[in-house]
C-alpha cells in the first residue's frame, strides 16, 4: 500500500458573496485585528464567513469579505475602527480569484 501524501497547499475554491472593503490608509493589519475581535465577541462567524487580504501592494488598503448577510455585516463593520467603506455590489468570482490568486 502506498503512503498517503499530503495535499499541495493551494488557493481554496472561492464561492459565495465576496465584497470589497476599504480601510484607512496603512491600517489594514489593525483593522483585521479589530475585525477578528468583533467576530468573536459578537458571534458573527455565520455572517462574516471568510476574510482574504490581497498581497499585491496596489491592494494594501483592501480586504475581501465573504458575507452571508450584507446588511447585518455592515451594521457590525461600521463600528470597527479604521473601517472606511464597503462596496454594495458583490464582486464577480473572477475578480476575487485575480486579487487573491497570489496567496
**Local structure of residue 82 (DSSP, 8 states):** T
Q: Is 3.30.70.940 the CATH classification of the domain at 17-98?
A: yes
pLDDT tens sequence across 6-56:
443 344 444 569 999 999 999 999 999 999 999 999 999 999 999 999 989
| Cell numbers describing residue 53 | 487580504
pLDDT tens sequence across 12-26:
444 569 999 999 999
Q: What pTM, to 2 d.p., does this model score?
A: 0.82
Q: Sign of dihedral through CA atoms 25, 29, 30, 34? A: positive
- SS3 for 57? helix
Separation between Cα atoms, residue 74 and residue 19, nearest integer Å: 11
Please list the alpha-helical segments (H only) found in 1-103.
28-42, 70-77, 93-100
> Tell me, what's the pLDDT at 5?
46
**Residue boundaries of the structural domains of the chain:** 17-98
Amino acid at each position: 500500500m502506498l503512503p498517503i501524501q499530503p495535499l499541495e497547499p493551494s488557493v481554496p475554491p472561492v464561492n459565495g458573496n465576496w465584497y470589497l472593503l476599504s480601510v484607512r490608509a496603512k491600517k489594514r493589519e489593525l483593522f483585521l485585528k479589530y475585525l477578528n475581535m468583533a467576530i468573536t465577541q459578537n458571534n458573527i462567524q455565520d455572517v462574516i464567513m471568510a476574510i482574504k487580504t490581497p498581497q499585491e501592494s496596489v491592494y494594501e488598503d483592501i480586504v475581501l469579505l465573504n458575507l452571508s448577510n450584507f446588511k447585518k455585516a455592515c451594521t457590525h463593520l461600521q463600528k470597527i475602527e479604521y473601517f472606511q467603506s464597503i462596496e454594495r455590489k458583490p464582486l464577480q468570482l473572477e475578480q476575487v480569484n485575480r486579487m487573491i490568486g497570489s496567496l
